[in-house]
Amino acid sequence: MEASPITKELAVAAPKVLLHEHLDGGVRPSTVLELAEANGYAGLPTYNLAELEKDFVVDSPGADLVQYLQGFAHTTAVMQTVDELKRVACEGVVDLARDGVVYSEIRFAPEQHLTKGLTMHQVVEAVLEGFRQGEVQSLSEGHPIVARAILSAMRQASHSNEVAKVAIDFRDAGVCAFDIAGPEDGFPPTQHLEAFEMIRQANFHLTIHAGEAFGPPSIWEAIQICGTERLGHGIHIFDDIEFKDGEYKLGRLAQYIRDRRIPLEVCPTSNIHTGVAASIKDHPINILRKLNFRVTVNTDNRLMSGIALSDEFFKCSQAFGWTLRDMERLTIDAMKSAFFPYEDRLNIIWNVIKPGYAALKA
């Protein structure tokens, strides 16, 4: 069984770890529609549920990151009150648990949810309460999950210092790290150095969107100047690898990332929808894995990409022949890379992930 390609059923049943998922990119379409109708939001492109589901998925030829981000205007518009945030957060956790995710880090930008008078602290409190409700419901359904939050600052804005302070304030309440997100080209991470330094001086955790829509210079800044521990996407590190006559040569940056075991939060389907790769078969995730980079598999935005984490593994299995053993290895690497206390990571690896895969192999 462990040497066989992964079926859809196995992909769902296997324990999984998700490190890169946006809260406002994983809202149920039905919830978007219901909340829009309840709060009077008139900006949706359609109020037919089936059409809305299709409209959110950015899979048209020539799509890029800018187009991919457009749908967030609609989801954030229905995430502006405490009750809306709690509902979206709870449902997001439940949906992940039903897909077999046992540990998740879900990121969101508090500054995107202030249009109806909430403070950043109130936004974070509401989301964390929704996470707790989702954990309780998932446990009652037989799908235990741990949900943690990463607070993102928008790289094209100027609120990163405030968001970093809020992240530190909630570090013992369910927030596990700080991040910057948004358009990468033209908004280098070095514009937010004060926030990164604040996080590091607090002995807190940091991940940065880098190498998604821009090349190695963005990755180099994120690592060497900003001090990130993980790379959000990081897929353009592939540009620093030279292939010739069946051999490969790592550039100095790629060599450093591999040597230091800096995790790549790779999101295959999202990368296709933003124009990074033409198809799963063309995606460099499998080559990076074979070259022993610390690769993790993620969804990015389940709504905009129309996928679940089980779909990502199933598609990669079809494209690259990944087996259950490969999936287990990738899941353990993701758990090792989580912003979670060391003993708790070990507990999930030894008492949840390994027994789960052992049962499937048997």
pLDDT (tens digit per residue) in 219-271: 999 999 999 999 999 999 999 999 998 899 999 999 999 999 999 999 999 99
Helix (H) or strand (E) holding 334: helix 324-336
Tokens standing for residue 325:
């053993």
Confidence (pLDDT) at 58: 79
Confidence (pLDDT) at 139: 98
Torsion angles phi and psi, residue 19, rounded to 5: -105, -15
Q: For residue 136, what pLDDT band results from cuts at 50, 70 and 90?
A: very high
Residue 256 lies in a domain: yes
Residue 64 lies in a domain: yes
Residue 3 lies in a domain: no
Residue 2 lies in a domain: no
CA 216 – CA 141 distance, rounded (Å): 44
Quote the DSSP letter at residue 281. T
pTM, two decimals, is 0.95
The number of folded domains in the chain is: 1
Quote the mean pLDDT of the chain: 94
Residue 37 lies in a domain: yes
Choosing from 105, 212, 265, 328, which is the catalytic residue? 212
pLDDT over 90 at 39, yes or no: yes
Residue 1 lies in a domain: no
Residue 300 lies in a domain: yes
Domain extent at residue 104: 8-361
Residue 255 burial (CB count, 10 A): 13
Residue 252 lies in a domain: yes
Task: Write out pLDDT tens, residues 88-106.
Answer: 999 999 999 999 999 999 9
Query: Which residues make Cβ contacts (< 8 Å) with residue 85, sequence separation at least 6?
Result: 79, 113, 123, 126, 127, 130
Q: For residue 362, what pLDDT band results from cuts at 50, 70 and 90?
A: confident
Active site residue 34: no
Q: For residue 65, what pLDDT band results from cuts at 50, 70 and 90?
A: low
Using the structure block, give the residue that is written with the tokens 């996928």: 307
CATH number of the domain that residue 149 is part of: 3.20.20.140
